[in-house]
Amino acid sequence: MMEYRQRMLFGSSLICIVLILLGVLSMDVGILGNLLLISILVFASTLFLIKYAYYTWLKALEMQFPNFVRDLSDSIRSGMSMKQAIILASKTNYGKLSAEIKSMAAKLSWDIPVLRVLEIFQKRISGSRLMSEAVDIMKEAYTSGGDVAATLDSIARDMMMFKEIEAERESMARGHIIIMYGIFFMFVGIALMIIFIMVPMIKAGPQEMRFGFGFGNPCENFLGFPCNYYQLLGSALGVPQGVALYYVSLFFTIVIIQGIFMGFIVGQLGESSVLAGAKHSLIMVITALAIFLFIIRAGLIPV
């Protein structure tokens, strides 16, 4: 797992370096800015994919863990020890959990104590609060004695009930997630329409404005923040100097901020996870960036 993560990080770092070098060799500030933004997204996406792969792996283990605990309970009830029950369970297919159970069985065959084996397993699945707490109860039941089989049955039953409630909640939230995505893309469309309408109106001059309203470029005679930020961002996106640079940079920033926070809301609503929210944030940010870059590079932005 660690070697896989290191290879992914090394590969993404190499891609980022190549993209930045290509931007420098192009001698074009716009291209360099675009490739720099893409490089940042590539590296951020790699870090997210590593974390999300671990998250999905834990979710896959959580799906099978109650079955594993129930089988342990049945084996112990038939007269086996915890060690024998785990070794027997290693011969059953539990999906992605099977590799972990086989590793536990191998350690037990080397006469490593059961508690130590459970602690090693618990450390590997520490990202899952549900399984980590279940293993804590298993260790307490093993050390304190009593009806271990009944305790394991209770763990499996409670975990199954929790997963059913979680699946029902996700199903109910799916419609709201679609609505949130619709709102985000509607906002992107509104932002672009404002740019397409406002920039030509401003360039037309106040004498051609209607209804007594007039707009201009607030950064025309001002070099402080946020105008220096808009100048840098607009150059990176490849927007020509002028009124369009200010408004494109302004609305692009607003769209990105909305995408980030709306993604976290969607993740919390759908899966009660900040990491899942980061997935949605990344999707929204990348989509918004692709839309803006396409429109700018296609020359559709009024200048």
pLDDT in tens, 115-140: 999 999 999 888 888 899 889 888 88
Using the predicted structure, report yes or no on whether residue 19 has a pLDDT greater than 70: yes
Contact between residue 34 and residue 238 where contact means Cβ atoms under 8 Å apart: yes
For the chain, domain boundaries: 69-165, 167-303
Alpha carbon distances (Å) from 153 to 72, 118, 144, 147, 160: 9, 18, 16, 10, 11
Distance CA 259, CA 110 (A): 52
Distances (CA, A) of 184 to 40, 258, 259, 279: 22, 8, 7, 15
Q: Given the structure tokens 């049955």, which residue do they identify? A: 153
| pLDDT score of 215 | 57
What residues contact 186, with CB distance under 8 A and at least 6 apart? none
What was the pLDDT predicted at 207? Answer: 45
- Average pLDDT score over residue span 46-56: 83
pTM exceeds 0.85 for this model: no
Under 8 Å between Cβ of 167 and 63:
no
Helices 114-124 and 97-109, axial angle in degrees (round to 10): 150
pLDDT at 50: 84
Banded pLDDT at 228 (limits 50, 70, 90): confident
- Average pLDDT over every residue of 202-214: 52
Q: How far is residue 272's CA from residue 169's CA, in Å, rounded to a whole number? A: 10
pLDDT beyond 70 at 230 = yes
| 102/117 Cα distance (integer angstroms) | 11
Q: Flag whether pLDDT at 199 surpasses 70.
A: yes
247-281 pLDDT, tens per residue? 888 889 999 999 999 888 888 887 777 777 888 88
Q: How far is CA 182 from CA 43, 121, 191, 281, in A?
A: 27, 42, 14, 14
Compute the distance between CA of residue 32 and CA of residue 16 in angstroms, rounded to an integer: 12
With 50 as the cut, is the pLDDT of residue 184 above it? yes
**How far is the C-alpha of 83 from the C-alpha of 88, rounded, in Å?**
9
For residues 108 and 83, is the Cβ–Cβ distance under 8 A?
Answer: yes
Q: Is the pLDDT of residue 185 over 80?
A: yes
pLDDT value, residue 211: 47
Residue 145: partners with Cβ closer than 8 Å, 6 or more residues away: none
Q: Is the pLDDT of residue 222 over 50?
A: yes
Residue environment code for 85-101, b if the CB has 16+ CB neighbours within 10 A, otherwise e: bbbbbbeeebeebbebb
Q: Give 150-172 pLDDT, tens digit per residue.
A: 888 888 888 888 888 877 877 77
The mean pLDDT value for 32-48 works out to: 80
